[in-house]
Structure 1
Amino acid sequence: MKKTYYLFNAGRLSRKDYTLKFLPVDEDGLEGVPKYIPVEGVSDLFCFGSLDANSALYNFLGKAGIAVHFFDYYENYTGSFCPKEYLLAGKMQISQTRHYIDSKKRMIIARKFVSGGAFNMTKTLRYYLNRDKDVSVSLNSIELLMLQIEQTKEVNELMGIEGNIRQRYYQAFDIIVNNYQMEGRSKQPPGNELNAMISFGNMMCYSACLNQLYHTQLNPTISFLHEPGFRRFSLALDLAEIFKPVLVDRTIFRLLNKKEISSKDFDMNMNGCMLKDSGRKVFVKAWDERLNETFKHPVLNRNVSYKHLIKLECYKLGKHLLGLDEYKPYKVRW
């Protein structure tokens, strides 16, 4: 079974026969012990440290269908190396483009992304409401805002409602999380520990959605809620709206409330807050566990992982674009 590998240290990545060789290098240029990874067991790579590699390696990775996602020192997602889109199909691309150009068809899909994400936020809030966390004010506000989604006619109007929903949702984080205060959403840089974890988790979710899009016929650059061109793979941003409450936020609540991450895992400086290597490793471990966690799918009647669930979401969207079935966003059941 293929798995995701996370490279936190700086180093050199090269090919050795059908194996990837990673040679860690410290700040003084001293080489560590090389690690060997059989290429057939790799689905994708996440690079948080400086990576030295040549075009021959990327040719090898491209042929093996392995994507590489890059993050800078401040944990910002900077880009991806994606193999050639071997599954792209002309019929799907034409249908996807037509649904973007037709404002009515585009709005139908865009509203689905917002309503699906908002529903999953309310499920998360209800989970904690039943555990003596009084998030009723945020929950009621979101449910009222959700009534406006189907009335929207323009994407900008819909994005405004989505922003208000998320603002009410984030207000509940101070109640849900023990010993940490969010004090409003802040980005670039995050202002505190909670904001640092949200930014890092959201980038991980975006990358996971992009990974699964690559394995479908959908074009990740043609989106419906977010404008194409605002980010290169904007359809991944659309899909991430649905999965952030389910995957990112619940991972954050677990790590902080169970004290698996503490203040020593954050670097506070004049420019803001970011996770240290120790914190990133803990987060990534919990994130990977969450992605590979399985549950019984109510329609397929078999166990699926959350990682596979993202791919199933892509398939559902593809069927909608081809006129085979109406797209219904994933809504968490618990």
Structure 2
Amino acid sequence: LESEGHELVVTTPGAFLGKTKSCIVVKHRGKKTNEVKTTNLNHIFVTGRGVTVSSNVIEFCSERHIPIDYIRFDGKPYARLYSFYDQNARIQLAQLAACGNEKGSAFAKSIVYGKIKNQLNLAKYYHKYRKEKDSTFSTLFREKTSRIELHLKELGETNDSDHDILRGKLFSIEGRAAQNYWEITKRLLAGMLVFEGREGKGATDVVNSMLNYGYGILQAKVWDAVIRSSLSPFISFLHKPQRNKPTFIFDLIEQFRVQAVDRVIFSMINKGVEVTMEKERLSNKTKTRLIGHILERMNTYEKYRGRRIRFVEIIREQARGAALYFTGETKKYLPYIGKW
């Protein structure tokens, strides 16, 4: 897939990134440890501490619209370098205008629908292979998915002229659907790893830590798609705008979490890939394996509205779709829904 684009992930603490005529060179303590052809490089992730990036690399990436994302030990992105040329005031003004009308409310509902539908579809996917082997899982599956279906029906009937009130209703539906989804997940992983339920910031178990880290990698990809589409990361509809928080990224990412991260991690666990913690953090080996699997998923082809394209391109198409929707060039925003 290198001919269509590849990523560079820098995990070594204290590494240095420099540039030659045709390569990005990684050095550690003065010795070259790796080099990557600049041809078709599309993203750099820095996950190690104390990493230095030369101005030559930054200039090269800026000119070619290649983002450099910095990721904390727990997967949370804390900084990003990208070209400031990828902006269009017309699109962002249309995005802002949608905050005060039905267009923004419809977008928020669409995002919640996409997230819940993807959770339901992934549960169905695993039930397809477990129903003959695990009657307990099958019974739980029927109970929980019937509730999720009811939540989807409730979502379709939910409306309010006050967007703040609508936002609260949408989060209520999303939260109740998610509770059923994570209860299915708990049973799915039983006997392989301990998973008592979803926990975000501060998680110390391996499953939640992997989910949090994976969502951080996904967030960087979604942010890149948003910037490429000239959208503002800070003008949001489902999540309430907050100072210094990219709440539109939080909106858009919801439709991708299940297929981009959850499915990848559950598959790793089911296949017996070794995943471990060190001092209540993911071990470096586990991080490296997880990043590799997530990026492999990003470059996997799937059918999308009549075309076969990579998952990362689907993310970009969904961001472009949002821009077209806000500017009035399309009448409806359709969320991404993965097949099962």
- Provide the TM-score with structure 1 as the length reference: 0.88
Post-superposition Cα deviations, 1:212-247, rounded to whole Å, max 9, x if no partner, equal 222223222222112233663322221210011111
Stretches of structure 2 that go unaligned for 5 or more consecutive residues are 132-136, 161-165
The whole-number CA distance in structure 2 between the counterparts of 1:230 and 1:128 is 39
The whole-number CA distance in structure 2 between the counterparts of 1:4 and 1:234 is 25
| 2:266 is aligned with 1:253 | yes
Aligned counterpart for 1:130 among listed residues 128, 131, 152: 128
Structure 1 residue 305 displacement after superposition: 1.0
Post-superposition Cα deviations, 1:29-76, rounded to whole Å, max 9, x if no partner, equal x44434222333311111110212355543332223121111223433
The whole-number CA distance in structure 2 between the counterparts of 1:320 and 1:76 is 29
Count, aligned residues = 319
Post-superposition Cα deviations, 1:314-334, rounded to whole Å, max 9, x if no partner, equal 122122112222111122222
Kept after mapping to 1: 8 A contact 2:44/2:66: yes
Structure 1 stretches of 4+ with a deviation exceeding 6 A read: none
Kept after mapping to 2: 8 A contact 1:152/1:158: no
Letter of the structure 2 residue corresponding to residue 172 of structure 1: I
Letter of the structure 2 residue corresponding to residue 97 of structure 1: L
Higher relative contact order (CA 8 A, sep 6+): 2
Kept after mapping to 2: 8 A contact 1:313/1:329: yes
Identity %: 19
Structure-2 residue corresponding to 1:90:
89
Identify the range of structure 1 (119-128 vs 135-144) with the bigger mean alpha-carbon deviation. Answer: 135-144
Structure-2 residue corresponding to 1:23:
27
Aligned counterpart for 1:160 among listed residues 160, 172, 185: 172
Structure-1 residue corresponding to 2:284:
277
Structure-2 residue corresponding to 1:211:
224
Aligned counterpart for 1:6 among listed residues 5, 9, 15: 9
Q: What is the correspondence of 1:1-334 to structure 2 with a 5 Å cutoff?
A: 1-10=4-13, 11-24=15-28, 30-50=29-49, 51-55=51-55, 57-86=57-86, 88-102=87-101, 104-131=102-129, 132=131, 133-134=137-138, 135-150=141-156, 151-153=158-160, 154-177=166-189, 178-229=191-242, 232-262=245-275, 265-267=276-278, 269=279, 273-297=280-304, 299=305, 301-325=306-330, 326-334=332-340
Stretches of structure 1 that go unaligned for 5 or more consecutive residues are 25-29
Query: Aligned-residue CA RMSD in angstroms?
Result: 2.0
Identify the range of structure 1 (275-284 vs 75-84) with the bigger mean alpha-carbon deviation. Answer: 75-84
- Provide the TM-score with structure 2 as the length reference: 0.87
Kept after mapping to 2: 8 A contact 1:207/1:236: no
Identify the range of structure 1 (38-47 vs 240-249) with the bigger mean alpha-carbon deviation. Answer: 38-47
The whole-number CA distance in structure 2 between the counterparts of 1:92 and 1:187 is 32
In the superposition, relative to structure 1, how do residues 62 and 296 fare at CA in structure 2: closer, same or farther (>3 Å)? Answer: same
Kept after mapping to 2: 8 A contact 1:120/1:245: yes
Identify the range of structure 1 (11-20 vs 125-134) with the bigger mean alpha-carbon deviation. Answer: 11-20
Structure 1 residue 169 displacement after superposition: 1.2
The whole-number CA distance in structure 1 between the counterparts of 2:297 and 2:22 is 30
Kept after mapping to 1: 8 A contact 2:75/2:215: no
Letter of the structure 2 residue corresponding to residue 37 of structure 1: V
Secondary structure of 2:207 counterpart: helix
